[in-house]
Amino acid sequence: MYNNSFHDINITSKTFLVTGGAGFIGSNLVEYLLKYNAKKVVVLDNLATGFEENIQPYLQLPNFEFINGTICNMEDCEKACIGIDYVFHEAALGSVPRSIKNPIATHQVNATGFINVLIAARDAKVKRIVYASSSSVYGDSKILPKVENQIGKQLSPYAVSKMTNELYAEIFSKTYNMEIIGLRYFNIFGPRQNPLGEYAAAIPLFLNAILNNEAPTLNGDGEQTRDFTFVENAVQANMKAMFAENINTQGNVFNIAVGERVSLNQLIEILKKLTGASVKQIYREERMGDVRDSLADISKAKTSIGYEPKIKIEEGLKHTLDWFKTHY
């Protein structure tokens, strides 16, 4: 992946911290930064939801450092920020159901951990922070497409934790004169997304089932829609947000998606076409805290940071399928 660069500046003299860099999105960012010869890439990850195998190819590189630590520990954050120019904050406990089951853990990692990273970055005089927010902040708003300045009431502890990030980002940027930009991810998918475990996301779960000739299970009637976004688009957005000039960096947030929506039933049909499978999906009750429909207006990101999603859902699913066949 990453045959085209998403940045115009030379990063060979720049140092980066990727929190959660052994995770799904974080490790894709790490791959990109190292491919384009960043001076140094530091990963801070406690491997709670990330995997060392995601960064294994880089462990011996002279410009790569892995810190096995947690954003919940201030000392780990301070150590990770030493000598760092730019921070990509991807570390989080994902999953709406997980947050409903254990709201304290979600808050500790996503909210308190976020403040720790902000303070460590502030004290290290980091130039800019780009962090992962989530489309879940739109909550019960029925407005489609989702526009950054129109949000509803959050529907889960996870959504509240991400909204908290946005509030702190704005306050920290204004109070301490920091450059902080948030990216509201819409259903990111792609290589390295874990299909196993209780809290796996929809696409890896469905792919894993179909490749094993098992029936995928859908929550509700399958007509709920999502703006599925291939991970390469998210990496592009991170790089463009990090180096965008002449934009408001005081807690500004951008929708990162494709701007197209697909129902889960349509998604299953695409996967069956790509794999040649003939399994039938199973339906069960709707899941608490889930948003019914999601579709992003990405015009702000296009205009402000030059974001232009190149890979649509079917092409993204092909790339993901190729990766899954060799890993699961």
Query: Which is the catalytic residue, given 58, 158, 185, 307?
Result: 158
Q: Are strands 262-263 and 225-226 parallel, antiparallel or unpaired?
A: antiparallel
For the question of residue 58 being annotated catalytic, the response is no
| DSSP result, 65-133 | EEEE--TTSHHHHHHHHTT-SEEEE------HHHHHH-HHHHHIIIIIHHHHHHHHHHHTT-SEEEEEE
Q: Six-digit token pair at 256?
A: 């990162």
Residue 280: CB atoms within 10 A of its CB come to 9
Closest by CA to 95, choosing from 225, 224, 204, is: 204
DSSP string, 129-190: EEEEEEGGGGTT---SSB-TT------SHHHHHHHHHHHHHHHHHHHHT--EEEEEE-SEE-
| Cis preceding-peptide flag for 309 (omega within 30 of 0) | no
Task: Give 57's contacts (C-beta < 8 A, 6+ positions apart).
Answer: none
Do residues 115 and 157 make contact, with C-beta atoms less than 8 angstroms apart?
A: no
Rg (C-alpha) for the chain, rounded Å, is 19
Residue positions counted in the chain: 328
Residue 203 to residue 254: CA distance in whole angstroms? 23
Task: Please identify which residue in the block is written with the tokens 């004290």.
Answer: 123
Instruction: Give the start-end residues of each E strand in 206-256.
Output: 217-219, 225-226, 229-230, 250-256
The catalytic residue positions are 158
